[in-house]
Structures are given as C-alpha cells and as structure tokens.
Amino acid sequence: MKNRTKSKITKPFWLKTKIPGGKNYLAVKKIVEDNNLHTVCQEAFCPNLKECWSNNTATFMILGDTCTRNCKFCDVKNGIPSKPDHDEPNRVANAVKLMKLDYVVITSPTRDDLIDGGAEIWANTIKKIKDVNPNCKVELLIPDFQGKIEDLEIVMKEKPDVVGHNLETAPSLYKSIRPEANYRRSLKILRSANKYDTITKTGIMLGLSETKEEILNIMKDAYESGVKFFTLGQYLQPSKENASVKEFITPETFEYYKNEGMKIGFQHVESGPLVRSSYHADKYFESFLQRTKMNKD
C-alpha cells in the first residue's frame, strides 16, 4: 500500500483552490457512504473534489479501490483486489437516482486479475444506471483491458454515451511513469471504441518532463484515432511514493495547447492546471450536442 503522506511541494498561486462546502457537498458525501461506494475523487485525492461535490457531481469508481498495476503518478492503492461485488451496479444506479444526476462518470482501477478485466461489472453498471435513470447520460473512463477487444465489446454493447481512456503521458515516459501500460495499446482501445455510436475522449498530465513536441504528437495521435474530446491538466504529486513534479505549467501554456488542439480538429479541448478527466465533462458534452443539433438543422 502506498504511503499517503503528501510531499511538501511549493505550488504556484494559480494552483490554489477555494474550499466550497454546504448542503450539496454533505449530501453527496452521505449518499456515497450510505451506498458503500468508492469515488475516484477520494481515492486519487482530486483537487476538485469539494467543488464537484458541492455542485452535486461525482465520479464513481467501481470494481473496488485497489489496482493491480503500480503507475507512478496515481495514488489509488495497488495490491491484490477483493473479488468483484455483483451488487455494486445496483448501488451505483441507486446513488445516481438519489443524486438526481442527468450525467454520471464511471471509472475503475485496472483489474488485470480478472479474466474479462471487469468488463461484466462495467456492462452491468451501465445497464442498471440506464434502467433506473433512463434520462441519465453515462460517461466511462476505462482501463485498457490488456488490449483485449472482446472485453471492450462487452462494455460497448451497453451503449455508453462517452468513452474515455487516458494516454496519461508521453510514450518516452511510460517505462518510468506507467510501466505496465503501452501507448500503442491505449491508442488501439480508443480506435476500437470509436467504431461504436459513442464519443471517445482521452487526456494527459503535464509537468513530468514531457516536451512540447511530444504533447502535440500525442494530440495528433489521439485525433487520428477518432478522439473528439481531449483534456490536459497539471500533474500534482499525491504522495512521497509517487513521481515528483518536474515543472509547473503556466495557465498561458495550457491555453496555448487548447488552441493547438482545436486547430488539430478536436470538438472540445479542456485545458488548465486543475483540469481532470471528468472535470466539467457534462457541460462540454451538452455543448457538443447542441452544436451538433444546430449543424443538422
């Protein structure tokens, strides 16, 4: 298990966040706890947790809170996970109903210990959410399923609205930052998901010593794989056990990458120091639908 003692890093002023709270925050916290659920907001120490919960949104993490991999950027604990909980999809669907969500994001740790990588639980979660909440849009942030397209297909048959799989960082850094993953395999998953009636999405972290050229090449690779939404955010070291921050990227630089991404052809680029995969995901999905409708009309 990782040491969750945070390292002392001097952050620039643009990474300072307000601490919202209030009734919505407490209500979401209670629903998550009462339904015995995990959220990536908590497990990965997301800097936007209180803002999102105050706005009555959360990213649910299914298939437990333990990952079979040991990526150096992530603070989700790694080790031997517990067996899948087949009632979990029902509880997630119930939480979505209680929160009155019309947009929900689901993610999971990587489960290489399971024959199907957890695909059955993924599929059942989508199905239950849509059965109980027929008007709710479902966005996924999936693992790579070890590149097994047959496992991905089990998930995709339940017709999620958005499917994200993060490339995370530059290929040159995979060996040190994401040693059990494979850049080309992740692109393969995105290309395969793009064949279905869904929107594909990916994102990367900045500040791990990647170069400008590498960032632009990643964006081009993603676009050529059919990705429509792209996110860029600042990597923040969650504990002493994780990789250290090499550079704090300025808001102006994030704006530059946003503009470059739009030039490449993405439908939306969310780029900023505190941006995470699901940050404001519902807002730009709705904006995309509105633009699509206007173009058809």
CA-wise closest residue to 171 among 141, 140, 204, 142: 204
- Reported as a pLDDT band with limits 50, 70 and 90, residue 37 is low
For residue 201, pLDDT beyond 50 = yes
What mean pLDDT is predicted for residues 167-196? 97
State the residue for tokens 């990952």: 67
243 part of a folded domain? yes
Q: Is residue 83 part of a domain?
A: yes
Between 191-205, 231-245, 266-280, the lowest mean confidence (pLDDT) is in 266-280
Across the range 188-214, mean pLDDT stands at 96
pLDDT value at 19 more than 60:
no
Q: What is the CATH number of the domain that holds 33?
A: 3.20.20.70
Residue 6: band (very low, low, confident or very high) from pLDDT cuts 50, 70, 90: very low
- What is the rounded CA–CA span in Å between residue 157 and residue 142? 14
- Rounded to two decimals, the pTM is 0.86
Domains in the chain: how many in total? 1
95: pLDDT strictly greater than 50 = yes
Closest to 108 in 3D by CA, of 150, 53, 151, 149:
151
Distance CA(211)–CA(196), nearest Å, equals 33
Residue 5 falls within a domain, yes or no?
no
Other beta carbons less than 10 A from residue 52's beta carbon: 23
- For residue 3, is it within any domain? no
Specify the amino acid at residue 252: E
Among 8-12, 98-102, 279-283, 290-294, name the most confident range.
Answer: 98-102
Q: Does any domain span residue 6?
A: no
Host domain of residue 24: 17-296
Band the pLDDT of 44: cuts 50, 70, 90: very low
Residue 92 forms part of a structural domain: yes
pLDDT value of position 55: 53
What's the pLDDT tens digit per position in 217-266? 999 999 999 999 999 999 999 888 899 999 999 999 999 999 999 999 99
CA dist list (Å): 263 to 251, 267, 287, 294: 19, 10, 18, 21
Query: pLDDT grade, residue 41 (50/70/90)?
Result: very low
Any idea which residue has 């059942």 for tokens? Answer: 124
